[in-house]
Structure 1
Amino acid sequence: MKRAIGKPRFYRRSGLSQRFALGLRVGAALLLVGIALAGHWLDREGLRDNADGSVSFLDVLYFTMITVTTVGYGDIVPVTDRARMFDTFVVTPVRVFVWLIFLGSAYNFLLRNTWERWRMAAIQRQLDDHTIICGYSATGQEAANELMRRGCPPGEIVVVDEAEDALEVAAEQGLATVHGDATHNAVLAAAGLARARSLIVTPGRDDTAILIALTARRLAPQVPVAVAIRATENEVLAQDAGAAVIVNPISFGGQLLAGSSVGPHLADYVSDLVTSHGRIAIRERTAAPDELGRHLRDVRPGQGLRIYRGGQAIGFWEDEAVLREDDVVIEVVPQGVVGSPQ
């Protein structure tokens, strides 16, 4: 049986769940009212009922609630100095705090929620040329951090996840968030997939990642999809699902460790190459008009590594590595060079 899903929604970080926060407020209001009720009951001799002259527990309950919520009707009044002082220094502050709790609850659960829904809907409508990250575990968080280190504004990154604690982490970083299952069309549509620059898929499960890639390919075939795959045998499935880039962190980490055992500086160089805080950066770009007809080895200021032409990869050592129109160049440049990947 297919699991029913709710409407995808933009998520706003909250320190407490709404149900717990509401319960806390109700409990505080009841405690304050209980203090006033106990004081009036213990000093009921200081009250006078103008209707029948006797003060019962129901009279005390009625008088307490009316006094806390309004100023009373005058049918039951304090007549002794002690009862009047209790109303002055205890019941009056209780009334103020209870009203603050009521007003705060109305703001939090009605006005602010309405405002946040309107604001998030406005953000959703304005999303354009942004990056979507599906799954905000360790890999997704590192991808977002690296994007921001490379100059991508937090507002141009949208995190999609079903776990609210993951969305809280993303919201703390200033990222836009969508709460929902990214394997569903409506959720990716809510994240603005059709207008996105790219999609990064890191849910932590290969089957989920492949399904997200398939869903994205159907909704927005023009958006490049990068997928993190853990099992080598699933890389072909991810490619068939439409992933433009497939990264296997387990395989890559193992290969890097193996290489480092014979070349201790390899890991340092690769880290320098792929992160924003190194001395060099790797970038992908289209060949510039003034570079056409030049060999890849002669391209400056970077060091050309590879050309992609019609799906074919051409290395810098090959004779046919002469730049043509629409060639895609992969090169290494000094960190900070204008045009480095954002």
Structure 2
Amino acid sequence: MRRGSTSHHRPLSLHRKSRTPAWLSLLWRMLLAFGLIGIALAVHWFWRDGLRDNVDGAISFLDVIYFTMITVTTVGYGDIIPVTNQARMFDTFVVTPIRLFVWLIFLGTAYDFLLKRVWEKWRMSTIQRHLHNHIVVAGYGTSGAEAVCELLRRGADGSDVVVIDERPAALQAAADCGATVIEGDATRNATLEAVQIGRARAVIVAAGRDDTSILIVLTARRLAPGVPISVVVRSEDNEALARQAGATTVINPASFAGLLLAGSTHGPHIADYMADLAATDGRVALHERMVTAAEVGHPLASIGTGLGMRIYRGDRMFGFWEIEAGRLEAGDLIVEVVPRGEMAMPAR
């Protein structure tokens, strides 16, 4: 998981699975280190006449191995020293860079296989502890990307939008937009538990395939029984399946486009107004909120925050023209049309 960067968010990478197996990466580093040491050893043996042993005066193969390893890992002890200009120049311009590379390989290996994993595990647990009342977006395709961008444009904080996807390129794009991202399969319990789905404010599922999206809805509903789940499906036949799986809202892009097209045939401004409601830069927006104590007992038409359109009372829905909308009750959900500048994200 990692947190995206915006003007006020620093990139935070918590987990990115390497495409190269760990054992192969370690093997390549070891071969590179031994290869560099082998080069130094071969040249030292070839130019052994340029070395002097201050102990017995003779340079054997074991002396060359000893001198090479001591010189590569340290600066030497002085018992064997280069005495010719050729040997000194080789140690200066070849062995010294080899020493630096070998140390970097060892330090990089220690970081990748030990320190990095401990550090990223700690950072991931830190982010998970702070995930409360957030929005989980499963899938960062066309619909998922637009949903994330719309949430951010409407004022959502990047740390409150968590994107799940298996494609590194999609995750990078989401992180660049400012969202928190995690690489994983959203159909798996472990992935959804990692993003604390039980504490989420809402879940958006846009996997790109109806069967995958429905499976994600099933998994998410089992882990988070009370969290609203919105899902995008492409086939009308799958809308009922998505609802049976536990989706609160099922959206069919083709059906919505059809509504706009059909509306345009009944007047040139109908489709324009519907698009105005949906667009971020529109003049008006739909807003859903709980009824306030001061509004209880009054008609829907009397609310002062916007133009009341519907109320949801339990599992029933009433329009502004129906008798039930003439008296608001505690627990009612109001859907109203408000000026765009007065609509705010739900409180955290």
Show CA shifts across 1:192-224 (max 9, x none): 122111111111121222222222222221111
Q: Which residue, 280, 283, 286 being the options, matches 2:287? A: 283
**What does residue range 124-273 of structure 1 map to in structure 2 within 5 Å?**
124-260=128-264, 263-273=267-277
**What does residue range 1-342 of structure 1 map to in structure 2 within 5 Å?**
12=14, 29=33, 32-33=36-37, 36-37=40-41, 39-40=43-44, 43-48=47-52, 53=58, 60=64, 63-72=67-76, 74=78, 76-260=80-264, 263-325=267-329, 326-337=331-342, 339=344, 341=346
SS of 2:58's partner is: coil
The residue identity in structure 2 corresponding to 1:68 is V
Q: Distance between the aligned counterparts of 1:26 and 1:271, measured in 2?
A: 60
The residue identity in structure 2 corresponding to 1:102 is F
Q: Distance between the aligned counterparts of 1:284 and 1:47, measured in 2?
A: 84
- TM-score, normalising length from structure 1? 0.82
Q: CA deviation at 1:284?
A: 0.4
Return closer, same or farther for 1:199/1:338 CA change in 2, 3 Å cut-off.
closer
CA contact (8 A) 1:303 1:331 kept: yes
The residue identity in structure 2 corresponding to 1:333 is V
- Cα RMSD (Å) of the superposition? 3.2
Q: Distance between the aligned counterparts of 1:112 and 1:95, measured in 2?
A: 23
Return closer, same or farther for 1:69/1:267 CA change in 2, 3 Å cut-off.
farther
Aligned residues: 333
Q: Distance between the aligned counterparts of 1:149 and 1:28, measured in 2?
A: 49
Q: Distance between the aligned counterparts of 1:142 and 1:23, measured in 2?
A: 43
The residue identity in structure 1 corresponding to 2:300 is L
Q: CA deviation at 1:236?
A: 0.7
CA contact (8 A) 2:16 2:183 kept: no
SS of 2:287's partner is: strand
Between stretches 295-304 and 278-287, larger displacement belongs to 295-304
Q: Distance between the aligned counterparts of 2:287 and 2:135, measured in 1?
A: 17
SS of 1:321's partner is: helix
Q: Distance between the aligned counterparts of 1:14 and 1:190, measured in 2?
A: 14
CA contact (8 A) 1:272 1:280 kept: yes
Q: Distance between the aligned counterparts of 2:345 and 2:78, measured in 1?
A: 77
Q: Distance between the aligned counterparts of 2:261 and 2:72, measured in 1?
A: 70
CA contact (8 A) 2:137 2:164 kept: yes
Return closer, same or farther for 1:238/1:178 CA change in 2, 3 Å cut-off.
same
Q: Distance between the aligned counterparts of 1:43 and 1:257, measured in 2?
A: 84
Gaps of at least 5 residues in structure 2 are 3-12
Q: Distance between the aligned counterparts of 1:13 and 1:269, measured in 2?
A: 44
Return closer, same or farther for 1:40/1:272 CA change in 2, 3 Å cut-off.
farther
Q: Distance between the aligned counterparts of 1:240 and 1:145, measured in 2?
A: 29
CA contact (8 A) 2:285 2:340 kept: yes
Q: CA deviation at 1:164?
A: 3.6
Q: Distance between the aligned counterparts of 1:23 and 1:330, measured in 2?
A: 61
Q: Distance between the aligned counterparts of 1:318 and 1:310, measured in 2?
A: 16
CA contact (8 A) 2:137 2:206 kept: yes
Q: Distance between the aligned counterparts of 1:221 and 1:35, measured in 2?
A: 63
Q: Distance between the aligned counterparts of 1:105 and 1:268, measured in 2?
A: 59
CA contact (8 A) 1:13 1:171 kept: no
CA contact (8 A) 1:13 1:168 kept: no
Show CA shifts across 1:255-292 (max 9, x none): 32444466554454333312333222211011222223
Q: Distance between the aligned counterparts of 1:208 and 1:333, measured in 2?
A: 36
Q: Distance between the aligned counterparts of 1:303 and 1:248, measured in 2?
A: 27
The residue identity in structure 2 corresponding to 1:12 is L
